[in-house]
Amino acid sequence: MKVLLAMSGGVDSSAAALVLRDQGHDVVGVTMRLWGGESDTGCCSVSDVDDARRVAQQVGIDHLVFNFSEEFNEHVVEPYVASHVQGTTPNPCIECNRHLKFDKLIERGRALGFDAVATGHHARVIDVDGTLRLARGADAAKDQSYVVHMLSAEDLAYVMFPVGHMQKSDVRELATSGGLRTAAKPDSQDVCFIGSTIGRAGFLEPRLTFNSATVVDGTGTQVGEVPAVELVTLGQRRGLGLGGGDKRYVVAVDVPLRRVVVGDEAELFISHTSIGTLSWPYSTDVSTISSREILVQGSAHGERSAGTITVTGDTAVIAWSRPTRRISPGQTVVFYDSADMVVLGGGIVTE
């Protein structure tokens, strides 16, 4: 098959190139130029593009660069800034995967006559009762099904995950045996468009107006102050101007009122979570999910917690099997079948 492989400059997509080549596919590597500003982190830095190009040369495949910087700004950067203004916690990597790394890549791949597109994500495509479904990667510690949960059965028929069945150690061993320059390269953990020297505050400061806020306890008594309420997140403990004493955590953030509420760690644990913007990639009959126990993941590398979901139209409520730490509004949650760990759907926390 003629396969268009997304190459980020990391070890996973590098190893994927070897796997696809050795399987006999006609592979073309492509690096998506997404962030047009300065970057020294994530998968958008100049060095990452160079690594991808050189690995393609090592593997013996052609390498292309697609410029999607305008689309990236529209679908990822602008919503990221807007979320902070609204007081919610965005998930830019999911939106990048949704709109760029798959939507635009699949569209471009089809237009250029490729039979499939591939990425280095640790996820698998399996058949469940005649329908292609997304399942967790074989390496539970590196599983990335959370960030690609939006892929439909139609998408999965066109997408390949060449390293999804492998352990990360085997991926690195393959890259090492192939002499690839990325074999020992560390995994990227940062938001690609936020440089390490300026951080989140430095990125946001020229793009929005920071507002100070009072910090109050559960009785409404002021106990501190923060210079930018837009930068405060649930669970935060430092930078609240509280001084010494007992540990207190952010349990609520009200951006319009410019108020941050702190409390004991126990107050971060709740029994129910409200979800909106539901997504069912496989046209799931929600009656088969509602009122039965599923597993829910609330961050890219977070643990999956058991709960019962009740769906009402475009919203849902998760009743946790045991008190669970709050997930910040704006964060994506992904639902998994507790039996075989395939993705059922997802949504965004509203409460």
319: β partners: 272, 308
pLDDT digits (tens, 9 = 90+) for 234-255: 999 988 878 767 789 999 999 9
Q: Categorize the per-residue pLDDT at 284 as very low, low, confident or very high, splitting at 50, 70 and 90.
A: low
**Token pair for 242:** 């509280």
Q: Where are the domains of the chain?
A: 2-177, 209-263, 267-349
Q: Tell me which amino acid residue 154 is.
A: E
* Residue 192 appears among annotated catalytic residues: yes
Kindly report which listed range (15-29, 214-228, 229-243) carries the lowest average pLDDT score. Answer: 229-243
The rounded distance, in Å, linking the Cα atoms of 225 and 211 is 11
Q: Tell me which amino acid residue 170 is.
A: D
The rounded distance, in Å, linking the Cα atoms of 146 and 89 is 16
Indicate whether this model's pTM tops 0.75: yes
Q: Categorize the per-residue pLDDT at 293 as very low, low, confident or very high, splitting at 50, 70 and 90.
A: confident
Return the pLDDT at 76.
93
Of the candidates 43, 44, 93, 192, the residue annotated as catalytic is: 192
What CATH fold (topology level) applies to the domain 267-349? Answer: Elongation Factor Tu (Ef-tu); domain 3 (2.40.30)
The rounded distance, in Å, linking the Cα atoms of 131 and 155 is 12
Q: Categorize the per-residue pLDDT at 281 as very low, low, confident or very high, splitting at 50, 70 and 90.
A: confident
CATH architecture label of 2-177: 3-Layer(aba) Sandwich (3.40)
Return the pLDDT at 189.
66
Return the pLDDT at 301.
83
> Is 60 exceeded by the pLDDT of residue 150?
yes
> Is 90 exceeded by the pLDDT of residue 232?
yes
What is the chain's alpha carbon radius of gyration, rounded to the nearest angstrom?
A: 21
With a CB cutoff of 8 Å and minimum separation 6, the contacts of 17 are 5, 7, 27, 29, 55, 56, 59, 61
Q: Tell me which amino acid residue 256 is.
A: P
* Residue 93 appears among annotated catalytic residues: no
- Domain 2-177 and domain 267-349 have a common topology: no
If you average pLDDT over every residue of the chain, what do you get? 91
Of the candidates 43, 44, 93, 96, the residue annotated as catalytic is: 96
Q: What is the CATH number of domain 209-263?
A: 2.30.30.280
With a CB cutoff of 8 Å and minimum separation 6, the contacts of 199 are none
> Is 70 exceeded by the pLDDT of residue 180?
yes
CA 81 to chain CA centroid, nearest Å: 17
pLDDT digits (tens, 9 = 90+) for 132-143: 999 999 999 999
